Amino acid sequence: MDALFATPAHPEYPSGHSTVSGAAAAVLATFFGEKTHFIMDNDLLIGVTRSVHSFTQSLNEVKNARIYAGIHFRFSCDDGQEIGDKVGHYVLENALLPAN
C-alpha cells in the first residue's frame, strides 16, 4: 500500500510545526485575545478558507493535520506546542517590551 503523504525528511519529535504554531499563538493571543475569530486561506487551495474562533482551535487543527497525515504522533505535537508556548511567553517577557 502506498503512503497517502510522502514522509518528510525531518525529525518526528518534537513537531516543529506545532512548536512554531504554539509560539505564534502565545504571542498573538496576548495581543488580540485567545477568543479571536479569524479566517485563513491557502496558496495551494485557491478559494478555500478556514474559519476559526480561537487560537486554541487553530492549534488543535494544526496538530490534527500533522497526525492525520502520518507525519507525527500526538505526543510529538503536544510537546512541540508546549515548547512553543514557553518560547512565545519568553519572547513576550524578554524581547517584545514597550519602548519607553
Q: Which domain holds residue 36?
A: 16-92
Q: Is residue 1 part of a domain?
A: no
94, pLDDT greater than 60: yes
CA-based diameter of the chain, in Å? Answer: 61
From the number of C-beta atoms within 10 Å of its C-beta (0-12, 13-18, 19+), residue 7 rates as exposed
4, pLDDT greater than 90: no
Q: Is residue 48 part of a domain?
A: yes
Q: Is residue 7 part of a domain?
A: no
Q: Is residue 63 part of a domain?
A: yes
Task: Please state, as a whole number, how many other Cβ atoms lie within 10 Å of the Cβ of residue 37.
Answer: 10
Q: Which is nearest to 10 in space by CA: 96, 61, 80?
A: 80
Q: Are 48 and 41 in contact (CB under 8 A)?
A: yes
Q: Give how many domains the chain has, as a whole number.
A: 1
Reported as a single tens digit per residue, the pLDDT across 30-56 is 999 999 999 989 888 899 999 999 999
pLDDT reported for residue 10: 86
Whole-angstrom Cα distance, residue 22 to residue 20? 5
Q: Is residue 85 part of a domain?
A: yes
Q: Is residue 9 part of a domain?
A: no
Neighbouring C-alpha atoms within 13 Å toward the C-beta of 35: 0
